[in-house]
Structure 1
Amino acid sequence: MELKIDSKDIDFHQLIEYSLNSIWIVEQEGNIRYCNKACLKLLNITSSKDILYQNLYSFLPPDFHAVSKERLKRVIEKQEIVELLEQEMIRGDGEIVDIEVMAAPFYLEGKVLAQVIIQDITQRKMAEKLLTDREKLVSIGQIATGIAHEVKNPLTAVKGFLQLLKESKFHPYLDMMESELEKALATLQNLLQVSKPDLHEESLVPIDLCQELESLLFLFQERLYNVKLEMDLRDSERKIIGKRNLFLKAFFNLIKNAIEAIQDTGKIKIEHYYQNEWIHIKVSDTGVGIPEDKVKMLGTPFFSTKSEGTGLGLTQVFTTIHKHGGNISVHSTIGKGTTFHIQLPVR
């Protein structure tokens, strides 16, 4: 039997209140008259009292104020439905999230207001970035592997002839030449390992990252004399499945970089917690920081912010995380420090 529902019987307030999308009703000046439950969740705010009668623009970065005012004016004065637009929003805890927003006229008590409909697209943007990063790393890895093979073969031949020369004739520079040649070959070998980490036939095992992080810190005891270390390791019962040695090497590189980023005294904080089906690991330092234009280059072989760095350490970190289905993001401020935020799926 077909169920017929008269629109008069529908509680539209209930539909809006429990919508999966965040919905605001706002005045032309941007004052918020109503928000639904999804809006509270998006903004990480517990009570609507902290939102109602606040100004919309206090939740938007300054870069988006002008375009938002223009769109709001079109909705209320011209009663247009404005198209979807990607922008950012500031949550109650200060975190920036990516959103998609549209607006339409809303009529109340003879006044025209704007119904603003917001969808959180943070996870989608993260997935798009992850796909782009993976494609970039695959392409770079293929190029790097080819170059490494081409360069390694003649260098190995040179090393062989150099050893023969040392046996037949002594010269003080020969040892230095051999030492520098060994460094070059070691760099190429590292590049090959980073480009194709699965060359190590290592089995997948359950990994307790809290335990592994604590054990790694013992390797840095003598370098932590001028660095305050803060550990916040929660949800230790949550484990991931992966290649243990690759993860040990990745987190060793991250902690080493954090220590080297601190010039005199400073602090390193390591966090581990479980949230929304992901294990989160954050490695933060109060070091020199990384310029914004260079952050997006991190993970690329031979790109480094250090004068004598090769960038292969961070390339190994990014490759390992992506190979295990994880995400990695970097937030840095010059003079204040850097945070590497890693997310790994729990299986």
Structure 2
Amino acid sequence: MKINGKRIDFHQLVENSLNSVWLVGKDRRILYCNKAGQQLLNHPSIDDILNKNINLFLPPDIHDFCNQGIMDVIENQKVFERMEIKIIKNHGEIADVELTAIPCYFEDTVLVQVNIQDITEKRITEKRLKEREKLISLGQLAAGIVHEVKNPLTSVKGFLQLLKESQDHPYLVTMESELDKAFETLQNLLQVSKPDLQSETPILIDLCKELNSILLLFQERLYSIEVTMDLRDSNVRFYGKKNLLLKSFFNLIKNAIEAITYSGKLKIEHYYHSGWIHIMVSDNGHGIPEDKLMLLGTPFYSSKPDGTGLGLTQVYTTIHEHGGTISVQSEIGKGTTFHIQLPVDENR
């Protein structure tokens, strides 16, 4: 094709495309991969990709589907549009992608042209929004519960105080003490469900310094625990509500220590990467069952017999309020790692 008498180099257009483009043969070997495709797979050399079986970069559970799809495109000229799958990048990293697969004719040979768009960040953003919507819904529900429960409890406490004035009985003291505990729980629930009610002014925070300070609060409980502090990039500051964040990290470290039954290990990490501060709190405690991980952060769900779950609810709500993410990896008998990511405003 020519424009104004000049021949257009379509290979250059494909090579410099923002989307990944692969050409795959009947034997499932990748015959061509543009620059974006190499960047997506994160391989330093194109030789790590070319002439390799495409299944090397796909999860095993879709190999058969992929093989059949290649044959359908080559033999039947079938077109696959806007499919969402996962691919395996260098070092085993997983990425979410959206692809189309269409026949590409090269002389008397039919190849499969695979056009790929990385949607990993899109999926992370969608997940973050869903989690935030979930927390907002929980907050609205919790605020309603607090209002409906607090009013009758206030009446009960008032009548209880009148009884105490007219007669003295140890049961009345116990009842008042239990009522105070109920009011405290309701207040905690209200705070974690609506952290924006706390009009704390955001400031620049040295999180490395604050993590060290929080750990000092647990000195009497760390005598039998091996503690590792790996705090890198301490020069990077985070702009946020200091007291809310410190309470979050206090709750995470407290949970980690309580998860360690006897002598164990606690590790706290801090580092900066690609615009995000990463904070990881790891223990080698009893771990959390896989089917319970999705419940973490829900009010009144706790793996501890006497726990209310409000501590983790406060953690999740605060991190999301600051635009961050939180993920959990856990294995029964081996321990748990909470991974927090907080966005850094480069302009501050």
TM-score after normalising by structure 2: 0.90
Letter in 2 for 1:183: K
Of residues 154, 157, 160, the one that matches 1:159 is: 157
CA distance in 2, matches of 1:155, 1:345: 42
Task: State the partner residue of 1:55.
Answer: 53
Counterparts in 2 of 1:210 and 1:193: CA distance versus 1, 3 Å = same
The answer as to 2:288 corresponding to 1:297 is: no
Question: Which stretch has the larger CA shift, 282-291 or 126-135?
Answer: 282-291
Please list, as runs of the form range in 1=range in 2, the aligned pairs for 1:271-310 lying within 5 A after superposition: 271-310=269-308
Counterparts of 1:29 and 1:79, CA distance in 2: 16
- Secondary structure class of the residue paired with 1:70: helix
Which residue number in structure 2 is paired with residue 233 of structure 1? 231
Which residue number in structure 2 is paired with residue 10 of structure 1?
A: 9
Deviation for aligned residue 1:124? 0.6
Q: Which structure 2 residues correspond to residues 74-93 of structure 1 after superposition, within 5 A?
A: 74-93=72-91
How many Å separate the matches in 1 of 2:344 and 2:85?
30
TM-superposed CA distance for 1:7, in Å, is 7.9
Q: Call closer, same or farther: CA 1:76–1:144 in 2, change over 3 Å.
A: same
Q: 1:313 Cα shift?
A: 0.9
Pair 42,189 (structure 1): closer, same or farther in 2 beyond 3 Å:
same
In structure 2, relative to structure 1, the CA distance for the partners of 1:222 and 1:53 (3 Å cut) is farther
Percent identity for Structure 1 against Structure 2: 62
Is structure 2 residue 27 aligned with structure 1 residue 43? no
Question: Aligned with 1:267: secondary structure?
Answer: strand
Q: 1:246 to 1:180 in 2, by over 3 A?
A: same
Supply the AA of the counterpart residue of 1:146.
Answer: G
CA contact (8 A) 1:45 1:92 kept: yes
Listed one character per residue, the Cα deviations across residues 240-299 of structure 1 (whole Å, up to 9, x for unaligned) are: 211100000111111122222233343333222222222222223333332333222222
Aligned-residue offset at 1:213: 1.4
Amino acid at match of 2:252: L
Secondary structure of the residue that 1:296 maps to in structure 2? Answer: helix
Q: Which residue of 2 aligns with 1:129?
A: 127
Letter in 2 for 1:10: D
Query: Which moves more between the two structures, 143-152 or 302-311?
Result: 302-311
More divergent stretch after superposition (316-325 vs 171-180): 171-180
Normalised to the residue count of structure 1, the TM-score between the two structures is 0.90
User: Aligned pair in 2 of structure 1 residues 274, 184: CA closer, same or farther (>3 Å)?
Assistant: same
Q: Deviations over 1:99-136 (max 9, x none)?
A: 11221223446432222222111111111111111111
Amino acid at match of 1:296: M
Partner of 2:321: 323
Between 172-181 and 134-143, report the one with greater CA deviation.
172-181
| Residue 5 (structure 1) shift | 5.6
Letter in 1 for 2:137: S
Contact 1:74–1:82, Cα closer than 8 Å, also in 2: no
Whether contact under 8 Å (1:89, 1:97) holds in the other structure is: yes
**Within 5 A, what are the aligned runs for 1:260-275?**
260-275=258-273
User: How many angstroms apart in 1 are the aligned matches of 2:48 and 2:266?
Assistant: 34
Evaluate the alpha carbon distance shift between residue 153 and residue 126 of structure 1 in structure 2; reply closer, same or farther with a 3 A threshold.
same
Deviation at 1:11, TM superposition (A): 4.7
SS at match of 2:73: helix
Matched residue type, 1:67: F
Give distance in 1, aligned partners of 2:225 and 2:178: 33
Which structure 2 residue ranges, 5 or more long, are not aligned?
A: none
In structure 2, relative to structure 1, the CA distance for the partners of 1:31 and 1:279 (3 Å cut) is same
Task: Measure the CA separation in 2 of the matches of 1:87 and 1:144.
Answer: 38
Which shows bigger deviation, 264-273 or 176-185?
A: 264-273
Which residue does the alignment assign to 1:19? 17
Query: What is the number of equivalent residue pairs in this alignment?
Result: 344
Aligned-pair Cα RMSD in Å: 2.3
Structure 1, unmatched stretches of 5+, are none
1:5-34 superposed Cα distances (whole Å, 9 cap, x missing partner)? 66843151x333332222222233433333
The one-character-per-residue Cα deviations of 1:138-188 (angstroms, maximum 9, x if unpaired) are: 111111111112211222332233233334333333332222222211110
How far did residue 193 of structure 1 move?
0.6
